[in-house]
Amino acid sequence: MLILFYFSDFIQGLCLLHTKALHSISDAAFNKILDNVNSNLTIHKLKKKINSIIPFEPQRYDTCKNSCIAFTSLYESLTSCSKCNENRYDDNGKPVNTTFFFSLKECLIIQYKNKERADELQYRNTYFQNKEGNEEIYADIFDGM
Ligand SMILES: [Zn+2]
C-alpha cells in the first residue's frame, strides 16, 4: 500500500512537473504547489527519482529563436542564425533561445535494455508479409515496396 501511495504521488508530481515546464513556473513556486497539495515531493526529489529511471541528462544548446538551427557542430561559433540572421545573444550576452536535447544513442540504449521495447524496435526487421509471396495483400505500410 505504501508503494502504491508513493507511485501515485510520483505520478502526480510528474504531471505537475509537466505543467511547471509548460508555464515556466519557478522551482520555489513549484515546491509551494507541491506543499499545497500535501505532497512529500520536492523538485529536488522529483529530479533525483527521474534521474534514477533515466540515467542521463539532456544537453542544453543555444538555438535560433525561430528554430532554424542549433548552434552546435558547424554552427557552434556563429553569433547569428545562418538561415534567418537572428542574433544568437541578447544585449546582455545571454543566449536568446536554448533547447534541451537528449542523445539519440543513449535513448536507444535505454530502449534496447527493455525486452518488450527492443522487440517493438525490431518490427520492421522481422516483418515478413510480402516475403511469403502474396503481394496483393497490403497488411502494413512495408508491403507497399
Ligand atoms: Zn533562424
- Residue pLDDT, tens place only, 11-48: 888 899 999 989 999 999 999 988 898 888 899 999 88
> How remote is the CA of residue 81 from the centroid of ligand 1, in Å?
5
Distance CA 16, CA 30 (A): 8
Task: Report the pLDDT value the prediction gives residue 1, as an integer from 0 to 100.
Answer: 46
Q: Measured in angstroms, how far is the CA atom of residue 106 from the centroid of ligand 1?
A: 28
Task: Tell me, in angstroms, the distance from the centre of ligand 1 to residue 89's CA.
Answer: 12
Cα–Cα distance measured from residue 17 to residue 7, given in angstroms and rounded to the nearest whole number:
15
pLDDT digits over 74-111, tens only? 999 999 999 999 999 999 999 999 998 888 898 898 88
Nearest to residue 82, comparing CAs of 96, 98, 66?
Answer: 66
- Ligand 1 centre distance from Cα of residue 92 (Å): 19
| Distance in Å, CA 80 to ligand 1 centroid | 8
Determine the pLDDT at residue 54: 77
What are the C-alpha distances in Å from 99 to residues 28, 62, 68? 22, 6, 12
The predicted structure's pLDDT at residue 134: 61
Contacts of 38 (CB under 8 A, 6+ apart): none
Which residues share a beta bridge with 63?
70
CA 54 to ligand 1 centroid distance, Å: 31
Instruction: Write down the domain spans for the chain.
Output: 1-53, 55-131
Average pLDDT over residues 120-131: 77
Question: Could you tell me the distance, in angstroms and rounded to a whole number, from the CA of residue 108 to the centre of ligand 1?
Answer: 29
Ranked by mean pLDDT, which of 56-60, 105-109, 123-127, 132-136 comes out on top?
105-109
State the distance from the centre of ligand 1 to the C-alpha of 74, rounded, in angstroms: 15
Local confidence band at 71 (pLDDT 50, 70, 90 cut-offs):
very high
The answer to whether residue 2 scores a pLDDT higher than 50 is no
